[in-house]
Amino acid sequence: MIKKIGLIANHKRAGVLEAIGELVRWLEDRGRKIFVDDQSAKLLSRKDIGCPAEEIPDLSDMIIVLGGDGTVLRVARLMEKSDIPILAVNIGGLGFLTVITLSELYPALEKVLNHQYQSSLHMILAARVVRKGKEVGRFTALNDVVITKGAISRLIDLGISIGQEYVTTYAADGLIISTPTGSTAHSLSAGGPIVHSTMDAIILTPICPHTLTNRPLILSERDTIYVALKSAYPETTLTMDGQVGFSLKLGDVVEIEKAPFKVRLIKSAKKGYYGILREKLSWGGRT
Query: Residue 112 above 60 pLDDT?
Result: yes
| Euclidean distance between CA atoms 229 and 248, whole angstroms | 8
136 located within any domain: yes
> What pLDDT, on a 0 to 100 scale, did the predictor assign at position 215?
92
Residue 173 DSSP symbol: S
Amino acid at 132: K
| Total domains, the chain | 2
* Domain-embedded: residue 287: no
Least confident of 62-66, 182-186, 228-232, 255-259: 228-232
Nearest to 73 by CA among 163, 184, 160, 171: 184
Instruction: Tell me if 103 is assigned to some domain.
Output: yes
β partners of residue 125: 141, 258
Same domain, 141 and 114: no
Do 184 and 273 lie in one domain? The reply is: no
**152 and 114 part of one domain:** no
DSSP assigned state of 116:
-
In this prediction the pTM is: 0.92
Q: Which residues are registered as beta bridge partners of 90? A: 67, 101
Residue 215 in domain: yes
Q: Which of 100, 74, 58 is nearest to 9 (CA)?
A: 74
pLDDT at 231: 87
Per-residue model confidence (pLDDT) at position 6: 97
Say yes or no: 87 and 152 in one domain.
no
Is 186 within a domain?
Answer: yes
178 within domain boundaries:
yes
Q: What is the mean pLDDT of residues 158-185?
A: 96
**Residues 132 and 74 placed together within one structural domain of the fold:** no
Q: Which pLDDT band holds residue 99 (cuts at 50, 70, 90)? A: confident
Residue 255 makes CB contacts below 8 A (sequence gap 6+) with 127, 128, 129, 130, 224, 225, 226, 227
Catalytic residue status for 69: yes
* Judgement on whether residues 48 and 10 belong to the same structural domain of the protein: yes
**pLDDT of 213 strictly over 90:** no
Over residues 187-192, mean pLDDT:
95
Helices in 162-272 by DSSP H: which ranges?
Answer: 186-189
- The mean pLDDT of 87-105, rounded to a whole number, is 85
Whether 178 and 246 map to the same domain: the answer is: yes
Q: How confident is the model at residue 9 (pLDDT cuts 50, 70, 90)?
A: very high
Instruction: Report yes or no on 286 lying in a domain.
Output: no
CATH code, domain with 159: 2.60.200.30
State the first-to-last Cα distance of the chain, in angstroms, to the nearest integer. Answer: 49
285 occurs within a structural domain: no
* Contact (CB, 8 A) for 210 and 172: yes
pLDDT higher than threshold 80 for residue 287: no
| Residue 286 binned pLDDT confidence (cut-offs 50, 70, 90) | low
- Percentage of the chain beyond pLDDT 90 is 78
Same domain flag for 10 and 71? yes
Q: Domain residues for 220?
A: 124-260
Q: Tell me the per-residue pLDDT of 247-277, one tens digit each, with 9 for 90 and over.
A: 999 999 999 999 999 999 999 888 888 888 8
Looking at the fold, whether 98 and 181 belong to one and the same domain comes out as: no
Q: Are residues 100 and 139 in the same domain?
A: no
Q: Are residues 254 and 272 in the same domain?
A: no
DSSP SS3 for 110: helix
Q: Are residues 74 and 142 in the same domain?
A: no
Question: Computed from CA positions of residues 158, 162, 163, 165, in that sequence, does the dihedral angle turn out positive or negative?
Answer: negative
Q: Answer whether residue 227 shows pLDDT above 70.
A: yes
Q: Domain of 11: which CATH number?
A: 3.40.50.10330
- Which residue in the list 37, 69, 144, 241 is annotated as catalytic? 69
